[in-house]
């Protein structure tokens, strides 16, 4: 009897992975047979909340490959975007609601954990509205609790190298969670953080769109000169704003600017702007027997609310542009929700509004955390698609410079496929900065080879550039 009990205990210990959360296949997407995939919930103790996760084990060697967490931003946007469009094993391209196997999936050599955060976002839910509002600190407490819950479910990952990654507003979530890991005694094997086009310091990130737009020729020298002459503060170019602003003229110039860029995709100034959502903003689906309505896409304000923090007058000027209908329709299908073990009846939306998420972002953003990460030897990577207008490279470069950390490698190109330049990389003590050229906010999706190369080299602690540029032959 006792022997059987011990045997059973051993079996449970060995098979600690939650068998009931395994996903063998997703309709339309395909099978998960070359690696194990899980979808379920991470409970936040003492809170009426659960965070949904998807865990795609490595296609290489799950037993030794690192654990990489991914967050999308918003606040309010779902990390399922990362999973189904940006770097999951199958991806849905923009404007095409079908899935294709992704040769550049980040789970090729990493165990990828996608967490939808905070509660209220995507399939993550709460059951007590009273207590459910967040800020940058409380959301990081929940993310830390979710990480602990993950290790409880998957204890075999406790000794793996851990990296925390994300994009956009996850420029807050990622360093904050790393800071929580430090605050809680560095119990886990946290090696580094990876942030793509991430919000970090509003002094530099705000107004960078107006600045980068000039260099991308979205307005002319005449307007540029007037902005300068009027000392306008809406643009983030050093020397323009010095307190001598001519507000009336600047407001006019700002409107002129918005007129010129109003049909530009702010997330990638060279990319198609998807308007199809405009026709049918709302979709309906029968979820657990009840007809539900959901937003099929989102406006720029829903997608990147931080852009509108200090700019109420520009509301609704920037079009949505992001392809939202395909992913949203897919994730509201009953068969998909069932396969993903979704527990809630709430419809899935790419980015939820205030009805589902009350969130306060702090003005101090996450810049203050960087010296703490460095002190604790947590390696830092920022990658930045340089055609992004939402969190432009220009702002990121400026705050990285202002940290004053000594350079360890000069700015240099790195090469991908047939010796094309994929981007540029610069290293400083404790921080690697990779610019992905010719691509915007979703660099991992739109320039998958270059981005994956940079991210993987960083994870492996190998140089991103082999510093042997092509010798031109004449």
Ligand X SMILES: *[C@@H]1O[C@H](CO)[C@@H](O)[C@H](O)[C@H]1NC(C)=O
Our CB check for ligand X shows the closer of 155 and 371 to be: 371
Cβ at position 390, least distance to ligand X in Å: 18
Name the residue number minimizing CB distance to ligand X. 402
Our CB check for ligand X shows the closer of 37 and 199 to be: 199
Select the residue interacting with ligand X from 399, 433, 446, 458 (CB under 6 A). 399
Our CB check for ligand X shows the closer of 129 and 309 to be: 309
Our CB check for ligand X shows the closer of 365 and 425 to be: 365
Select the residue interacting with ligand X from 201, 325, 445, 447 (CB under 6 A). 201
Select the residue interacting with ligand X from 64, 284, 402, 420 (CB under 6 A). 402
Our CB check for ligand X shows the closer of 175 and 320 to be: 175
Cβ at position 377, least distance to ligand X in Å: 22
Q: Is 53 in the site for ligand X (CB under 6 A)?
A: no
Cβ at position 382, least distance to ligand X in Å: 14
Identify whether the C-beta of residue 330 lies closer than 8 Å to the C-beta of residue 28. yes
Count of residues of this chain found to bind ligand X when the rule CB under 6 A is applied: 8
Q: Is 367 in the site for ligand X (CB under 6 A)?
A: yes
Our CB check for ligand X shows the closer of 259 and 375 to be: 375
Our CB check for ligand X shows the closer of 200 and 230 to be: 200
Select the residue interacting with ligand X from 338, 368, 377, 460 (CB under 6 A). 368
Q: Is 294 in the site for ligand X (CB under 6 A)?
A: no
Our CB check for ligand X shows the closer of 318 and 365 to be: 365
Select the residue interacting with ligand X from 31, 364, 377, 460 (CB under 6 A). 364
Scanning 47-55, 103-111, 362-370, 411-419 for contacts with ligand X by CB under 6 A, the matching segment is 362-370
3-state secondary structure the chain: CHHHHHHHHHHHHHCCCCHHHECCEECCCEECCCCCEEEEEEEECCCCEEEEEEEECCCCCCCCCCEEEEECCCCCECCHHHHHHHCCCEECCCCCCCCEECCCCHHHCCEEEEECCCCCCCCCEECCHHHCCEEHHHHHHHHHHHHHHHHHHCHHHCCCCEEEEEECCHHHHHHHHHHHHHHCCCCCCEEEEEEECCCCCHHHHCCHHHHHHHHCCCCCHHHHHHHHHCCCCCCCCCCCCCCCCCHHHHHHHHHHHHHHHCCCCCCCCCCCCECHHHHCCEEEEEECCEEEEEECCCCHHHHCHHHHCCCHHHCCCCCCECCCHHHHHHHCCHHHHHHCCCCCCCCCCCECCCCCCCEECCCCCCHHHHHHHHHCCCEEEEEEECCCCCCCHHHHHHHHHHHCCCEEEEEEEEEECCCEEEEEEEEECCEEEEEECCCCCCHHHHCHHHHHHHHHHHHCCCCCCCCCCCCCCC
Scanning 88-96, 260-268, 361-369, 465-473 for contacts with ligand X by CB under 6 A, the matching segment is 361-369
Footprint of ligand X on 412-471 (CB under 6 A): none
Q: Say how far apart CA 55 and CA 67 lie, in whole Å.
A: 10
Our CB check for ligand X shows the closer of 32 and 169 to be: 169
Cβ at position 391, least distance to ligand X in Å: 14
Cβ at position 403, least distance to ligand X in Å: 8
Cβ at position 437, least distance to ligand X in Å: 25
Our CB check for ligand X shows the closer of 402 and 408 to be: 402
Q: Is 203 in the site for ligand X (CB under 6 A)?
A: yes
Cβ at position 194, least distance to ligand X in Å: 21
**Beta-ladder partners of 290:** 287
Cβ at position 375, least distance to ligand X in Å: 16
Using CA atoms, how far residue 370 sits from 377, 403, 454, in Å, is 11, 9, 20
Site residues, ligand X (CB under 6 A): 201, 203, 364-365, 367-368, 399, 402
């Amino acid at each position: 009897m006792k022997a059987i009990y011990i045997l059973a205990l051993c079996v449970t210990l060995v098979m600690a992975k939650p068998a009931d959360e395994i996903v063998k296949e997703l309709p339309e997407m395909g099978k998960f047979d070359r690696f194990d995939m899980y979808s379920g919930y991470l409970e936040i103790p003492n809170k009426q909340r659960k965070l949904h996760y998807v865990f795609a084990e490595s296609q290489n060697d799950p037993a030794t490959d690192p654990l990489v967490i991914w967050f999308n931003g918003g606040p309010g946007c779902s990390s399922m975007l990362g999973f189904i469009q940006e770097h999951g094993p199958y991806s849905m391209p923009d404007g095409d609601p079908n899935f294709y196997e992704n040769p550049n999936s980040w789970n090729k050599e990493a165990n990828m954990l996608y967490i939808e955060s905070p509660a209220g976002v995507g399939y993550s839910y709460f059951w007590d509205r009273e207590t459910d509002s967040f800020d940058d600190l409380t959301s990081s407490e929940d993310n830390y609790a979710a990480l602990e819950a993950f290790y409880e479910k998957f204890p075999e990952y406790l000794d793996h190298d851990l990296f925390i990654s994300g994009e956009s507003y996850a420029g807050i979530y990622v360093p904050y969670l790393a800071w929580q890991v430090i605050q809680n005694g560095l119990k886990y094997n946290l090696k580094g953080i990876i942030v793509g086009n991430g919000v970090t310091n509003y002094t530099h990130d705000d107004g960078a769109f107006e600045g980068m737009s000039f260099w991308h020729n979205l307005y002319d020298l005449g307007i540029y000169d007037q902005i300068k002459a009027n000392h306008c503060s809406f643009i983030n170019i050093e020397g323009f704003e010095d307190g001598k602003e001519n507000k009336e003229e600047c407001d006019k110039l700002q409107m002129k600017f918005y007129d010129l860029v109003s049909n530009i995709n702010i997330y990638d100034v060279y990319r198609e702007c998807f308007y199809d959502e405009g026709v049918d903003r709302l979709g309906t689906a029968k979820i657990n027997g009840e007809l539900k309505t959901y937003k099929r896409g989102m406006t720029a304000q829903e997608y990147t609310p931080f852009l509108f923090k200090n700019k109420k007058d520009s509301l609704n000027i920037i079009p949505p542009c992001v392809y939202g209908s395909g992913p949203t329709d897919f994730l509201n299908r009953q068969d998909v929700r069932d396969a993903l073990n979704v527990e809630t009846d709430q419809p899935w939306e790419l980015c939820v509004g205030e009805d589902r998420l009350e969130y306060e972002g702090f003005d101090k953003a996450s810049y203050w955390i960087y010296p703490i990460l460095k002190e604790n030897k947590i390696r830092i990577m920022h990658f930045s698609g340089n055609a992004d207008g939402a969190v432009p490279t220009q702002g990121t470069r400026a705050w990285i410079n202002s940290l004053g950390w000594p350079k360890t490698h000069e700015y240099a190109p790195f090469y991908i496929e047939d010796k094309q330049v994929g981007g540029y990389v610069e290293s400083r003590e404790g921080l690697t900065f990779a610019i992905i050229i010719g691509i915007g906010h979703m660099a991992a999706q739109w320039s998958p080879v270059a981005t994956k190369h940079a991210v993987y080299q960083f994870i492996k602690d190998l140089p991103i550039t082999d510093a042997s540029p092509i010798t031109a032959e004449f």
